[in-house]
Amino acid sequence: KIFINDWMADTATLGHNQSLYHKLKSFGLNEIDSFTHNIPFLFFFKKGDPNTPVFQRTGSTPNDYLVENFTLEESMVRGWVESPWFGPALRWDELHWDGNTIDPVLTDESVIEVFGKNVNGDVERLATVRNARDTSLSFVDSRIYPYIKLRQLTSDTLHATPYQLQYWRVNGVLPPEGSIAPDLYLKGRDTLEVGEKFVFSIAFKNISEEAFDSLKVNVRITDNNNVQHVINLPRMKPLVSKDTLIFSYEIDTKNLPGANSLFVEVNPDEDQPEQYHFNNYVIHNFYVKPDNANPLLDVTFDGVHILNNDIVSSRPHILITLKDDSKFLALDDTSLLKVEVRYPDGQLRSFSFTGDTLKFTPASLREGQSGDNTATIDLNPFFLEDGDYELIVSGRDKSGNQSGQSAYRVSFKIINKPMISNMFNYPNPFTTSTAFVFTITGSEVPQNIRIQILTITGKIVREITKEELGPLKIGRNITSFKWDGTDQYGQKLGNGIYLYRVITNQHGKALDKYKTEGDQTDQYFNKGYGKMYLMR
């Protein structure tokens, strides 16, 4: 805190008797010397007037409150009063004013000055009216001076009383005046899902007697990153007196996740003359829920989810599906999925949608309604070369969410030659039923495949057809059919050992046997016959 001693020390830099302390002392403020600690003080004096006494008062404590009234007397013979700016106007017509004096004898002088302000904000005096109470303003071009104001200059050197202005009026044609009218119509949600159409509507009413020409409307959105998006719109219809315009605009929110602010302004930048502009705009805040959910990717070979290194058909039907929860961002773009296959020689090949090998079916989604937002790819390749392959699939949704942290990968084997492995029944021995396990290679399931079950004497007691076995595929099979130990007529067979064999035919030729390296299963077969044990 700075007190009187610090003020006195200013002479070191300001010069002898040039400090604030010495100046105040020269005016007679002697009690300033008591300002050595934090107290209030009140000084009143008139500089250069020795007839006006110096008033000094200081407090005793920091909490003291000093109040004093002073009467100031002054003799003024001239003054002025000024109006606010009138306008903008389409045409200036007339000035009317009147007043009177309060003195017994008219000693007042009064004139009216007319000022104009142009579109650049420059102010110019246009006229001085001395005696006339009614004056034409037709000489003022409203296109140059859309705004005018009045100033009354008054003087009275005898009585020092101002001339009493009773009224002043400016006649002309004002431009139209409109206002945003949410009480008449307002529509706009405050929370939406990303991709959902945001429809904002609001009324704008012409509340004046003049008509608007075609109205310009500015729309801009400030997004969650404080980036402005300006939306260019065609002009709205002309608006006659007392008519109402319903402004409506639809906004796509797919690129607007998070908090947003919509700003709508009618007749911006004084596109048309208008009386006021403060009631021409509206701000509407809305929130778009981001899409952070990952889409689901599914891959099947001939309708089956295979395991790594499974054998598949050399002409497989690979179905790839990408499913998303969004009800508004349809998976309808081929760029959302990428399909690659690594061949036995290590070459990585991408598939395009230009031919028949790869077919894309976009999701069919009715906006805002529950539906299946699923895109599919049908891949129908022909792998001519035997060996190990790898399928690589990656997918994302419209919001950029990946289907997984890494691409889907699965390895598979291709063996073009049609073959069938030794067939086993499982379980073996069995009590109630047993299924059959085997592997088929090639490009298609054999046309004819059946299983014969015989007694140890060679009598056929049951023949199972391909149709009974159920769905079969290239690769590893476990039949959905389970033999329950009955004969061809449904009669239960007795416990014991039974023989079985598989008979295949593909284009009139029996299939060769498929054996993997180290396969020792032949020891369980005798001339193509296997054994099963029925134990009820």
pTM of the model: 0.65
Q: Is residue 71 part of a domain?
A: no
Q: Is residue 65 part of a domain?
A: no
What pLDDT digit, counting tens, does each position of 152-189 carry?
Answer: 999 988 888 888 999 999 999 999 999 999 999 999 99
Mean pLDDT along residues 444-468: 93
Q: Is residue 63 part of a domain?
A: no
Q: Are residues 246 and 349 in the same domain?
A: no
Mean pLDDT along residues 344-351: 92
Query: Could you tell me the CATH number of the domain that includes residue 159?
Result: 2.60.120
Of the candidates 281, 364, 296, the one whose C-alpha atom is nearest the C-alpha of residue 330 is 364
Q: Are residues 160 and 185 in the same domain?
A: no
Q: Are residues 100 and 125 in the same domain?
A: yes
Handedness of CA 420, 421, 427, 432 (dihedral sign): positive
Per cent of the chain over pLDDT 90 is 70
How far is 172 from 167, CA to CA, in rounded Å?
Answer: 17
Using left for φ > 0, alpha for ψ between -120 and 50, and beta otherwise, residue 9 falls in alpha
pLDDT level of residue 507 (50, 70, 90 thresholds):
confident
Q: Are residues 83 and 183 in the same domain?
A: no
pLDDT for res 478: 94
Q: Are residues 511 and 433 in the same domain?
A: yes
* Final residue belonging to a domain, choices 382, 414, 446: 414
Q: Are residues 401 and 446 in the same domain?
A: no
pLDDT for res 28: 84
Residue indicated by tokens 């005793």: 60
Query: 419 - beta bridge partners?
Result: 441, 512
Q: Is residue 66 part of a domain?
A: no
pLDDT above 80: residue 142: yes
> Is the bond into 234 cis (omega within 30 degrees of 0)?
no
What's the first-to-final CA gap in the chain, in angstroms?
Answer: 108
pLDDT for res 84: 95
pLDDT for res 368: 56
Q: Are residues 464 and 488 in the same domain?
A: yes
Q: Are residues 283 and 304 in the same domain?
A: no
Mean pLDDT along residues 66-86: 87
pLDDT above 80: residue 304: yes
Q: Are residues 408 and 423 in the same domain?
A: no
* Final residue belonging to a domain, choices 379, 395, 414: 414
pLDDT for res 317: 94
What pLDDT digit, counting tens, does each position of 353-407 carry?
Answer: 877 789 999 998 876 565 689 999 999 999 999 999 999 999 999 999 999 999 9
Number of domains in the chain: 5
Q: Which amino acid is at 493?
A: L
Q: Are residues 139 and 111 in the same domain?
A: yes
pLDDT level of residue 73 (50, 70, 90 thresholds):
confident
Q: Is residue 91 part of a domain?
A: yes
CA count, 13 A, side-chain hemisphere, 95 = 28
Strands (E) in 38-108, as ranges, are 41-44, 55-58, 78-82, 91-100
pLDDT for res 298: 96
Q: Is residue 64 part of a domain?
A: no
pLDDT above 90: residue 284: yes
Structure tokens at 10: 């200013």
Of 350 and 73, which is predicted with more confidence? 350
CB 61 within 8 A of CB 39: yes
Q: What is the residue range of 32's domain?
A: 4-58
What pLDDT digit, counting tens, does each position of 474-504 carry?
Answer: 999 999 999 999 999 999 999 999 999 999 9
pLDDT level of residue 121 (50, 70, 90 thresholds):
very high
pLDDT above 90: residue 351: no
Strand, coil or helix: what is 150?
A: strand
Instruction: Mark out the alpha helices in 312-375 (DSSP H runs).
Output: none
Q: How does the average pLDDT of the chain come out, rounded?
A: 91
60 Cβ neighbours under 8 A, 6+ residues apart: 39
Task: In the chain, count H helices and then E strands.
Answer: 4, 36
CB 370 within 8 A of CB 327: yes
pLDDT above 70: residue 129: yes
Q: Are residues 202 and 270 in the same domain?
A: yes
Q: Is residue 477 part of a domain?
A: yes
Query: Could you tell me the CATH number of the domain that includes residue 239?
Result: 2.60.40.10
pLDDT for res 423: 92
Strand, coil or helix: what is 524?
A: helix
Q: Are residues 315 and 401 in the same domain?
A: yes
* Final residue belonging to a domain, choices 389, 414, 439: 414
Q: Is residue 73 part of a domain?
A: no
Structure tokens at 216: 């310009």
